[in-house]
Amino acid sequence: MVVMNYVAWIVYNIPPIYHNYKIGAFTNNRVENSTLEFSIYYILPKVDPETMWLYITTINFYLTCAVASFHCILDLYLSLAVFQIVGHLYILKYDLTSMMRPKNKTIIEVYDMPVAVEMFDDEENKKMYKDISECISHHCMIIR
């Protein structure tokens, strides 16, 4: 997170500073027809960013650092939410796949062929009802 924050600071601030350096804005003999480039542009009454470029650059650097930090925090929050949902879905999948199997097998004939049918007895039905109810309530909690 900290590394991504620094990368975002660099990506937001270095291109305008490099452009200004390339046109000679940080020297005393600046070209008169050159325009300074900022990472954030302001329209303020009675303030010319070209004459107050050091202050404006400092404020721009601070604000772009704040925006970069905000983007990283939002990205971290989104990742956390995705991992939370995926974790709940894995728990739900495990709960559904690890339910007990019926103990009783009965063989019935269908079209003169024996077919094994697994059936729950009354106690197992109550246990399955409880387990499925817990899975449904857990799923409802995930959806909310």
Residue 70 lies inside a defined structural domain of this protein? yes
Q: Give residue 136's pLDDT.
A: 92
Q: Give residue 57's pLDDT.
A: 79
Q: Give residue 86's pLDDT.
A: 92
Largest CA distance in the chain: 103
Residue 94 lies inside a defined structural domain of this protein? no
By the 10 Å C-beta count (0-12 exposed, 13-18 middle, 19+ buried), 56 is classed as buried
Question: Where is the domain boundary, 47, 80, 113?
Answer: 80
**76 and 22 in a common domain:** yes
pTM here is 0.59
Taking residue 125's Cβ as centre, other Cβ atoms within 10 Å add up to 12
116: enclosing H helix or E strand: strand 113-119
How many domains would you assign to the chain? Answer: 2
Q: In whole angstroms, how far apart are CA 130 and each of 69, 99, 100, 122, 125?
A: 47, 11, 12, 13, 9
**76 and 105 in a common domain:** no
Residue 93 lies inside a defined structural domain of this protein? no
**66 and 116 in a common domain:** no
Domain that holds residue 43: 2-80
Per-residue pLDDT tens, the chain, 144 aa: give them. Answer: 778 888 888 888 888 888 888 888 777 877 777 777 877 777 778 877 777 778 877 888 888 888 888 988 999 999 999 999 899 889 989 988 988 888 888 888 888 899 988 888 899 999 999 999 999 998 888 787
Residue 138 lies inside a defined structural domain of this protein? yes
Q: Which residues lie below 8 Å from residue 121, measured CB to CB, with a gap of 6+?
A: 102, 103, 104
